[in-house]
Structure 1
Amino acid sequence: MDIGDMRREFESEGLDRDHLDDSPIRQFEHWFHDAREAGILEPNAMSLATAGSDSQPDLRTVLLKYFDDKGFVFYTNYGSRKAGEIDQNPKAALLFPWIGLNRQVIIQGPVEKVSKAESLRYFSSRPRGSQIGAWVSEQSKVITSRGLLEQKVAEIKRRFSQGDVPLPSFWGGYRVVPERIEFWQGRPSRLHDRFEYLRQDDGWLIQRLQP
């Protein structure tokens, strides 16, 4: 199937250095607010790219759950494929594709586990069904049928029928600590605006990139 003629013009006001906050985290917060206000479906959905010791890139969509000056946090099973790759090569890239606003944000940097207290705080806020799901799934492992998964759900529900569902020892958060953040704004004729923030010892270097 030849889809080479699929294209559209990106109409926007553009992006100038004067429009940017000196902090990429505050700039991200501004754009994230815009995405929510525009009704972008799940604006916290982000592509997470990792690569293990074999250097084979891997990619999936996860949900951003927290961000601040220290980094961008998501949660997962510590036995999952992504967790194994992070253990082997603790670096990652994130992509927020806010296409409806002709925008995207790329974040790159090292990855670290969040504290158990942070994981517990978030886990305790999840719906009970999601908490049980965390206990049930040996994420990324082969399973022969969905029926086995449903049997395990029933087992875990019985196990924790009284009281709160505890935090599994094999589940928690990771924080991507940004060293580079790029803000991309689509413009007509593919002459897009791109600005990158590079972490320096004394702050952030901000520079415009060619489209």
Structure 2
Amino acid sequence: MSSRFFLFFDNILFGSLVTLCFANENIRIKIANCAVDQYECDDRLRHSIKGLEKMLSTSLRRVEHIENKAMGTLLGLSVAIAVFVATTGILGKNGLLADAGPVLRNAASFFSLVAIFYLFGSGFLALSAYKVGQVYSPTLRDRSPIIEKKKEKMTILFCIEQNRLVGTSRSNLLSASFTFLRNGLVGVLALGVLVVLSEVVHSMQ
């Protein structure tokens, strides 16, 4: 029961970050232990080199797509942080909540901290997912005419699987980044609601 609650809160608050970190550690181990010779009996060796190269291109496009999504997240995050920074003065002496009661001010402080934590957490995770160039592709040496066709196919399969693992790892980080960004925006929205509520209360006095 306790593990279910932990997984539930991990999912809601952190986008299953803890679970995904364990998964990424397993992926890292698989990447480190993977070798070309492991594909000596792979069923996909029956495909032609051209067919395998198409699979490789697909794996590279997937990683590139994840990188583009991470970049988009960073751009959206920069806008969100700009909006948040514009509201940071509301708790000052001349801020919109300067005359608010302690409950509203404490709530605003809490949501400010929540927004800071999640927005910067989202940025960190998106940057971790955005690693241009860290992909696998056969080198010119691997494609040398003196290399037998089976060995070349095995190398391509190795690159395909490595790119798949890399893509999955980055996708996990990006998924958590989206959740952090969502929660950060909720914090900013809650802060805005408190400002409006404070203005309403102030106008009624």
Of Structure 1 and Structure 2, the greater strand share is in 1
Compare CA radii of gyration and give the structure with the larger one: 2
TM-score by length of 1: 0.21
Of Structure 1 and Structure 2, the greater helix share is in 2
Considering Cα pairs closer than 8 Å and 6+ residues apart, tell me whether 1 or 2 has the greater RCO. 2
